[in-house]
Amino acid sequence: MGYSAGTYAKARELLEKQRIQNEQELENRRNILYMRSPRAKQLEQSIAKTSILAARTIFKGGNVREEMEKMKEKNLKAQKELESIILSYGFPKNYLDMQYKCSKCNDTGYANDRMCECMKRLCRDIEYKKLNEMSPLELSSFDTFSLEYYSSEGGDDSDKAKMEKILRNCRKYAEEFSLRSKSMLFQGGPGLGKTHLSLAIAKEVLDNGYGVIYVSAPTVLKKLENEYFGYQNDSSRTLENILECDLLIIDDLGTEFDTKFTTTTIYNIMNSRMLSSKPTIISTNMSIGDMEKKYDMRIVSRIIGTFGRVVFFGSDIRQKKKKS
């Protein structure tokens, strides 16, 4: 299944910007070298001029071989002198070569008449970003997670001590995240920090270069339903992206409408990601008993069997913040 026309257009626009940036960076490097060595500029111009003369010689005919040998010798001599100047200033040998972000397609998006992996990755990242726009990823981080609203009554067994450990473990999970990381289930009442820490994990894992999708259960299931039944005109790959991303975070599981479609879709997502060993984080206000009442046992058994369970403690922090 392909991406939407809008996604391809955005990817081509980004690649064009990358090519312009490559050219600007080369021009900047060239100007730096020219300021230090005017001779380098003369040599580069001479090399370029020799290439033009070679083309004219071939076009005119005559004793082409002899003329070409002379020009080749002159060109090689100029190239060696230019290389010597570049190295004398501590620059790498390829200092005046165009530097591409992708060496396979030279930032065109296509190699050997096929879409390059960098183009596919760019399209995927654009789709992920569109999905993540549903969530305030920039508003939450580990540094902004405050423990001051949790009770310290009970010492080492207090809500504050327990949440401090959870915060530490979540930070470690994000820092050490890999494609082999364990799936996690965040449970607890509303306002205990599940969403905040989920967003903090998403942000750090994204910053570390992984493909992360963060969605709320009711929002994404409604979007998937609209796409499935043709209520949306764009050819979106939402389900495919959800199944393929490196880390999927589903917030507020249990707040979606109960329909046959949502139940089937949740099972499909859980089962597919479990079979492909892709980590998933779920946050929910439901207990295991609540989940058993709401969902098919196939869903619950997969969550219980494969997810590490993290129970959040305390009383509603949002209410405490309003009162303070």
Q: What is the mean pLDDT of residues 225-253?
A: 82
pLDDT confidence of residue 74? 85
- Residue 162: its pLDDT value, please? 94
Cα–Cα separations (whole angstroms), residue 33 to 24, 82, 84:
14, 10, 12
Rounded CA separation 105/112 (Å): 8
Is pLDDT at 71 greater than 90 in this prediction? no
Residue 250 pLDDT more than 90? yes
How many Cβ atoms are within 10 Å of 115's Cβ, its own excluded? 15
Return the pLDDT at 1: 42
**pLDDT for 209:** 82
Convert the pLDDT of each residue in 168-206 to its tens digit. Answer: 999 999 999 999 999 999 999 988 999 999 989 988 898
Topology (CATH level 3) of domain 134-323: Rossmann fold (3.40.50)
Over range 284-290, report the average pLDDT: 93
In the chain, pLDDT over 70 holds for what percent of residues?
87
Q: For residue 62, what pLDDT is reported?
A: 55
- The owner of tokens 């709320």 is 216
Amino acid 126: pLDDT: 83
Rounded average pLDDT over 313-317: 80
The pLDDT of residue 226: 87
- For position 134, what pLDDT does the model report? 63
Burial of 62 (0-12, 13-18, 19+ CB in 10 A): exposed
Question: Looking at the predicted structure, is the pLDDT value of residue 63 above 90?
Answer: no
* Contact between residue 223 and residue 242 where contact means Cβ atoms under 8 Å apart: no
Region 130-153 average pLDDT: 78
Rounded alpha-carbon distances, angstroms, from residue 62 to 55, 70, 249, 264, 316: 13, 14, 71, 77, 90
Contact 82, 40 (CB under 8 A): yes
Half-sphere exposure of 209 (CA within 13 A, CB side): 2
Measured CA to CA, the distance from residue 117 to residue 104 in angstroms comes to 9
Angle between helices 260-275 and 217-228 (to 10 degrees): 100
pLDDT value of residue 230: 75
What is the reported pLDDT for 57? 61
* Count of other CB atoms within 10 angstroms of residue 70: 13
Burial of 67 (0-12, 13-18, 19+ CB in 10 A): middle
**In the chain, what are the domain boundaries?**
5-116, 134-323
Distances from the Cα of 63 to the Cα of 38, 58, 69, 152, angstroms: 34, 9, 11, 93
What's the pLDDT score for residue 138?
62
* First and final C-alpha spacing in the chain: 52
Q: What is the distance between the alpha carbons of residues 324 and 317, in angstroms, rounded to a whole number?
A: 10
Q: Cα–Cα distance between 270 and 259 in angstroms, integer? A: 17
Measured distance CA(285)–CA(291) in Å, rounded: 10
**Is the pLDDT at 82 greater than 80, yes or no?**
yes
Between 318 and 246, where is the model more confident? Answer: 246
3-state secondary structure of 250: strand
Q: What is the mean pLDDT of the chain?
A: 87
Question: Is the separation of the CB atoms in 163 and 148 below 8 Å?
Answer: no
Residue 206 is predicted with a pLDDT of: 84
pTM score of the predicted model: 0.68
Per-position DSSP letters for 263-277, written without gaps between them: HHHHHHHHHHHHHTT
